[in-house]
Amino acid sequence: MEITKICCIGAGYVGGPTMAVIAQKCPHIQVTVVDLNEQRIKDWNDPNTDNIPIYEPGLSEIVAEARGRNLFFSTEVEKAIDEAQVIFISVNTPTKTYGKGKGMAADLKYIELCARQIAKVAKQNKIVVEKSTLPVRTAEAIKSILDNTGNGVQFQILSNPEFLAEGTAVTDLLNPDRILIGGDSSPEGESAIDALVNVYANWVNRDKILTTNVWSSELSKLTANAFLAQRISSINAMSELCEKTGANVNEVAKAIGMDSRIGPKFLKASVGFGGSCFQKDILNLVYIAKSYGLNEVADYWEQVIIMNDHQKRRFSNKIVQTLYNTVADKKITFLGWAFKKDTNDTRESAAIYVADDLINEQAKISVYDPKVSRNKMLSDLDYLETRSEVENAEALTIFDNAYEACKESHAIAILTEWDEFTTYDWQKIYEFMHKPAFVFDGRNILNAKELESIGFIYNGIGS
């Protein structure tokens, strides 16, 4: 089968960039991204591609090239489903906040809604591709819904998990380590796998396209994120020990990273990992292990999350303790709100939780982030339901200029590793702060000696 029309349900951080790259690299394939959120689709169709809703370096240029040629963004979900040969499901799979598995299991209600809508609309055979991160054996549930509520249409379910790091998503899509496609071992399943392989083969070497059974593909995504998050929590655990013993966590990380068996990646100590994937996927893994009675396995992986939460609390506690055990009515400036640089995604960002802790201590938080909007910051805090929306709005002041955000501040906390923070005139910032002036570098990106020579009291992670 030669694919000429693709539909993607979900115009978020995975669906939007992935489909943009497929459209750019496969001009012979019509790619339609659909979403029920009218404002999001309107933003994707903004005449100025600098205003698209997701910030990723290089993404706006790719959208500008392909949009209107063979890349389309629409709210006409059923029309796109009807016309497409391949349907990617790329909707949100948050951690459940209710019922059995609350706080751990993935909430699959959006996935099920997609499956039921596909079943209702489809008149010809379809390939349905899981792009969202899903628990093992979700494909089985999707196939059951499609086969039992459809119109006699034959469906093939493939698992094609994304391995994108936000901030480098475009690079990851253009030059992936691997493409993973899981499907059924039947002739029909193998035909569907081949069809999707041929799409990616337009720009990815075939030796980088790995095919497996569905279950291996689904579990590989959870496992990869669990291993990466484990490395971060491991070095963060050592950062606290370094602070107590006089060691330097950057030196420790460099020393062990030079071991070819370990390698240097994901050994950067910080205030903690964020993002939509790591915590959600590990909790999902914990839930799956517990559901099979594998309590020791569950406890092992859950400790990665516990360590990450501890690192965030430790950072906020250190600010309070260093500022003479009170931050009441003191202005604390956050540089950065996104969970990492080069993205406007704030899901599970450490900044949210550190801000929440400090507001509980009656601090006044000022924030500057080059890509995150005021409304997004406030909605992040409101989501925690720690206090009223009015109280959050009073405690959080958002600036569009970093120097203004730092003026009259008692302390500055670096929460995101944006490159621009290292280029600031820190002498100028120091002059307009209350003294003593404190810097808490949650990403270890600033030059400690330079700041101390200016007069700052510098606090990094793990030293």
Q: Is 351 labelled a binding residue?
A: no
SS3 446: coil
d(Cα 107, Cα 271) in Å, to the nearest integer? 28
Q: Is 166 labelled a binding residue?
A: yes
Q: Is 399 labelled a binding residue?
A: no
- Whether residue 364 contacts residue 329, with contact meaning beta carbons closer than 8 Å, is answered with yes
Annotation says 242 is catalytic = no
Q: Is 63 labelled a binding residue?
A: no
SS3 242: helix
Q: Is 224 labelled a binding residue?
A: yes
Return the number of other C-beta atoms located less than 10 Å from residue 444's C-beta.
21
Q: Is 26 labelled a binding residue?
A: no
Q: Is 416 labelled a binding residue?
A: no
Q: Half-sphere exposure of 194 toward its Cβ, with a 13 Å CA cutoff?
A: 9
Amino acid identity of residue 335, one-letter, is: L
d(Cα 268, Cα 263) in Å, to the nearest integer? 12
Q: Is 15 labelled a binding residue?
A: yes
DSSP conformational letter for 264: S
Q: Is 14 labelled a binding residue?
A: yes
DSSP H or E run through 459: strand 457-459
Q: Is 374 labelled a binding residue?
A: no
DSSP H or E run through 5: strand 5-9
Give me 426's structure tokens: 């820190």
DSSP conformational letter for 106: B
Q: What is the largest CA-CA distance in the chain?
A: 74
Give me 450's structure tokens: 């330079």
Q: Is 272 labelled a binding residue?
A: yes
Q: Is 206 labelled a binding residue?
A: no
CA-CA-CA-CA torsion sign (81, 281, 193, 170) = positive
Q: Is 269 labelled a binding residue?
A: yes
Q: Is 261 labelled a binding residue?
A: yes
Q: Is 124 labelled a binding residue?
A: no
CA-CA-CA-CA torsion sign (107, 108, 109, 114) = positive
Amino acid identity of residue 101, one-letter, is: G
Give me 442's structure tokens: 């949650």
Q: Is 176 labelled a binding residue?
A: no
Catalytic residue among 7, 8, 114, 277: 277
- Whether residue 182 contacts residue 212, with contact meaning beta carbons closer than 8 Å, is answered with yes
Q: Is 271 labelled a binding residue?
A: yes
d(Cα 6, Cα 24) in Å, to the nearest integer? 13
Q: Is 162 labelled a binding residue?
A: yes
- Whether residue 85 contacts residue 126, with contact meaning beta carbons closer than 8 Å, is answered with yes
Q: Is 132 labelled a binding residue?
A: yes
- Whether residue 300 contacts residue 309, with contact meaning beta carbons closer than 8 Å, is answered with no
Q: Is 79 labelled a binding residue?
A: no
Q: Is 100 labelled a binding residue?
A: no
Q: Is 152 labelled a binding residue?
A: no
Exposed/middle/buried for residue 104 (C-beta within 10 Å: 0-12, 13-18, 19+): buried
Q: Is 120 labelled a binding residue?
A: no
Q: Is 222 labelled a binding residue?
A: yes
Rg of the chain over CA atoms, in angstroms? 23
Tell me the C-alpha to C-alpha distance, in Å, between residue 362 and each of 326, 394, 395. Answer: 9, 11, 8
CA-CA-CA-CA torsion sign (325, 331, 335, 339) = positive
Q: Is 93 labelled a binding residue?
A: yes
DSSP conformational letter for 120: H
DSSP conformational letter for 96: P
Known binding positions for substrate: 162-166, 221-225, 261, 268-274, 339-340, 443
Known binding positions for NAD(+): 10-15, 35, 40, 91-95, 132-133, 166, 277-280, 347
Known binding positions: 10-15, 35, 40, 91-95, 132-133, 162-166, 221-225, 261, 268-274, 277-280, 339-340, 347, 443
Active site members? 277
